Chain A
Amino acid sequence: MSDAAPTIRSVLATDCGSTTTKAILIEHGPEGWRLVTRGEAPTTVEAPFDDVTVGVINAVTEVQELRGRRLVGEDNTILMPQKGEEGVDLYLSTSSAGGGLQMLVAGVVRTMTAESAERAALGAGAIVMDVLCSNDQRKPHEQIARIRHLRPDMILLSGGVDGGTTSHVAELAELIGAADPRPRLGAGFRLPVVYAGNKDAAQAVRDTLSAKTELSVVDNLRPTLDQENLGPARDQIHDLFMEHVMQQAPGYDVLRSWTSAPVMPTPGAVGLIIETIARERGLSVMGVDIGGATTDVFSVFGGVFNRTVSANLGMSYSISNVMASAGFENVLRWVPFAIDESELRNRIKNKMVRPTTIPSLLRDLQVEQALAREALRLSLVQHKDFATELKGRQQQRDISQAFAQTASGQSRVDLMALDLLVGSGGVLSHAPRRVQAALMLIDSFEPCGVTRLAVDSIFMMPQLGVLATVHKEAAMAVFDRDCLVPLGTCVAPVGTTRGGAPLCTIHLELPGGSRGISLERGALVLIPLPTGAQAKARLEPARGVDVGAGPGTSRTVELEGGEVGLIFDGRGRPIELPADAAARVAALEAWNAALGLYPREGG
């Protein structure tokens, strides 16, 4: 969609989350586009309200009161367009209420068409409930039972390259037809199924499914083994999300009539703004949103966007699963004091059953931040495994690649190439000290070389994502000025030295003068540099150590400041923690002291 006309002066955008509806008001003033105020109210999709627009109007009413100008009309609708000081020119919304968009994905081969289909569904903002494929080891009757049991909002069926064999994808369609799946919402309405597979099998799929489901056929998402074409499937999922799925949720038919652009699934909109920023700025970007139940990871490397959802890694509802997945030892390694295993397990289970409680003791906070590191680390592992080059394609290799034995399907995630890492979610955005958020991101993602760090303090990326579809300029301006809180820059040399030789020598030109740093192995050094300030740095790594220009190669870079400043991380990649418990606690205490991570206990 093209940019809106310049006469647009104000934009109101809401994100209807599962518990809270958040509204932001953006206006064009003397400084250009800025966020002017925000409001929130409980989401009202469930009983006793059963109408999402009640929560929307409540959140917008708060914005109206804070801004001191009228946005809601007598008839409880949003006033549009802006007339004088009343109303807004655009109203947009995203939604993840009612469990978001829950999809079942099917493809012929797990690592090829099924994986491409999963990428398309995740990219559209869906929660992928299961991936069915011809080679997933389940017997057909088990697959049918699974389809029937899941009750998804939508199914994406793919399989086969164009012109290839049709029988496997036809078999999958028959299994779906035999299951006669019922949608999660809306009794009596037919389940939307998107077919994006071998075009030669489209008629067979129509014959099998068009009488039982709301079938739509789009271009093959894997027309050849070497090519992935996710756009048409993703767009169709977005259209069906609003037309069919959310139409069944209470109040959405009205909400849809209010908005200036289609309502998008929240994670799809977040992906869109990250993709837009990466493309417009020419950056490699990663974003991570750690919530109570799930953790989403977004990345753009080499212009390719990927999203994963770690469905049961989160800081409240899923906190016990973080412990179960990471293991006690992995959580314990980040806890800067000795703790009994049984006590830690009970403490975590108590948070699981009372998820809204917050740590009031410093040690409780430190345990939660240890768990956050592991949730973030595990979600990155899942993302790296998924965000790969296409598997199954033929590669032309030169002799050096043949010797390196690189297979197809290498991860696109290159932490040395990462320019910007953005964190969001309560444990990062609301950490009492910003440096805690910075170190959680560094410890879990282990960025290499030079990486800027930021947090999205009020989580307005969803609203900016949907805004980017109609007014990119406004979305990007607000993203830069009001959305992100810059934390600073992390410089992490990769490689090691012998004896006591420093990893890297750094010559810094700071606004107040020059400074030299000799970064020792195992050390963390913090140099404060405020938001907006830059420092020119000459990085001279030791032989065999890489800071982004290749082993032993020096480079000169501009380092961006932030609320934390510049963090020079000499702890190695992967970060080396002492195996001995006492030595580990001592190392954590030293690092924490170097960064001023926590207040001193008892004082």
Chain B
Amino acid sequence: MGHAYTPGLKVSAAAEMRRPRMLPIAGEVLVQPGQRVQPDTVVARALLPGNVVTLHLSRQLGVAPADLHELLLVKEGGAVIKGQPVARSKGLFGLMKQTVESPTTGVLESVSKVSGQALFREAPLPVEVKAYLAGTVSAVNPPFGCEIAARGTLVQGIFGIGPETSGPIVVLSEDAARPLTPADIKPEHAGAVLVGGSLASLAVLHRAIEVKAAALVTGGLDAADLKQLLGYDLGVAITGNEAIGLTLVVTEGFGELALSARTLRLLAAAAGRTASVSGATQIRAGVLRPEVLVPGDVAEVEKTAVDSGLLAAGSTVRIIRDPHFGALGRVVELPPEPRLLDTEAKVRILTVALAGGQRVTLPRANVELVDERA
């Protein structure tokens, strides 16, 4: 019997979760190994070099760049405040002197003898990294950051938008196959992580933004609604920085697709608990999927089929392309030799028994492993 390596989206009630929390540049790590943290705990901080403002001094004063230095009123490296005179021309016979003022507050970093350009550096910009996940500091990597570890429920989505957030889980609908309606979302859902449904229409998304929900986790999304929501047609699935006032996690795909039964069951069991949610998606080398993390008391970490990535007879799979897109089934056979498809492409295939008993043959590339019974 054959087998193959196939990726899948992880959905687990007892997962080990480790998230590195790193600064973009060297800074200061504010936590110790073993320290308990909450999603909002600041774990590392750095100062980014300030913005640079340029000023063409030689043009402003009407002198050659090489002659600028004797006209400076502030030395290179000296502190300046906005409006402070920084250079003055000699004028004509000591009259009609021109003065140039600093365009900003900071430091006069340099004045070029070649271009006549002055560079002013503004005050450093603080940047902070939060823990994101309620858990324990498992490692520190000074001066860049640390790692937070926790155990609990983990649900990976297929696509998301919006930054990291957190909030209590609220299940909007027990019916995973029902499209959500704006009426499902109430003012009391402010700050919550909302879960449910087979489709979130544009009206539903706007309603979630209106009540200031933290995140929405749903089965499907219409591509046209995504375009409307973002204001542009997303060309490449690299997301996470969208500032739309909501973090969105789509678990199944585009179109109306029921939230998987296991995802709904696990998140419903965690209702009321704090979830950390990220919409960041990157579908290239170094794949990043959106996620919902709910730390809890887990004695033993669950090993799932998705962890092994091994597709074999008996594996439960989801079909991820037409025909039968979205259907769950159990692998019956993995013939080693390639077969011809309707398209006449010769590829490696597998046979899957669908939930209703129907057997279908399809490319191996068109299934993903799921941790769920068909």
Residues in chain A within 8 A of chain B (CB atoms): 18-19, 46, 98-99, 140-141, 144-145, 148, 166-168, 170-171, 174-175, 178-180, 182, 201, 204, 207-208, 293, 312, 317-318, 320-325, 341-342, 345-362, 364-365, 430, 432-433, 599
Contact = CB atoms under 8 A, between A and B. Distances in A.
Nearest to A328: B233
Contact of A141 (B51, B110, B234): B51
A293 B110 CA distance: 42
Interface string B104-130: 000001101011110101000000000
Interface string B331-346: 0000000000111111
Given A99-B285, A361-B323, A365-B343, A346 B255 contact: yes
Given A167-B114, A360-B342, A361-B322, 15 more contacts: A46-B285, A141-B53, A167-B115, A174-B117, A178-B121, A179-B52, A204-B114, A320-B233, A325-B235, A354-B368, A359-B321, A359-B345, A360-B323, A360-B362, A362-B342
Interface stretch (B29-37, B75-83, B145-153, B218-226): B218-226
Nearest to A99: B285
B320 interface: yes
Contact of A320 (B236, B323, B345, B346): B236
A322 B347 CA distance: 26
Contacts of B235: 312, 318, 320-325
A476 B254 CA distance: 47
Contacts of B233: 320, 323-324
A342 B223 contact: yes
SS class of chain B's interface: helix, strand, loop or mixed? loop
A253 B115 CA distance: 40
B60 interface: no
A23 to B, nearest CB: 20
A432 B254 CA distance: 27
B342 A317 contact: no
B244 to A, nearest CB: 17
Interface in B253-275: 253-255
A286 to B, nearest CB: 25
Interface in B263-294: 281, 283-286
SS class of chain A's interface: helix, strand, loop or mixed? helix
Given A312-B235, A312-B236, A353 B224 contact: no
B284 A354 contact: no
A480 B25 CA distance: 51
A293 B51 CA distance: 33
B318 to A, nearest CB: 10
B296 interface: no
B321 A357 contact: yes
Given A323-B233, A342-B223, A362-B343, A167 B65 contact: yes
Contact of A433 (B321, B322, B344, B363): B344
B158 interface: yes
9 contacts: A175-B52, A178-B121, A318-B236, A346-B222, A346-B255, A349-B159, A350-B320, A357-B363, A360-B342
Q: Report, as a range, how many residues of chain B touch the other chain.
A: 35 or more
Contacts of B301: none
Nearest to B104: A141
A428 to B, nearest CB: 13
A345 B283 contact: no
Nearest to B111: A174
Interface string B304-322: 0000000000000000111
Interface in B147-177: 158-159
Nearest to B281: A353
A201 B113 CA distance: 12
B237 interface: yes
Contacts of A361: 322-323, 342-343
A185 to B, nearest CB: 13
Contact of A317 (B54, B116, B234, B236): B236
A538 B222 CA distance: 55
B283 A352 contact: yes
Nearest to A178: B52
7 tightest A-B CB contacts, nearest first: A321-B235, A432-B344, A324-B233, A170-B114, A345-B223, A140-B54, A349-B254
A322 B345 CA distance: 23
Contact of A174 (B112, B283, B320): B112
B147 to A, nearest CB: 14
A395 B172 CA distance: 71
Contact of B365 (A341, A356, A432): A356
A348 to B, nearest CB: 7
A353 B283 contact: yes
Which of A99, A201, A364 has most B Cβ within 10 Å?
A364
Given A349-B223, A354-B253, A141 B285 contact: no
B41 interface: no
Contacts of B321: 350-351, 354, 357-360, 364
B114 A166 contact: yes
Nearest to A313: B235
Contacts of A365: 343, 345
A358 B325 contact: no
Given A171-B112, A320-B234, A364-B321, A178 B119 contact: yes
Contact of A144 (B52, B226, B253): B52
Contacts of A201: 114
B49 interface: yes
A328 to B, nearest CB: 10
A167 B223 contact: no
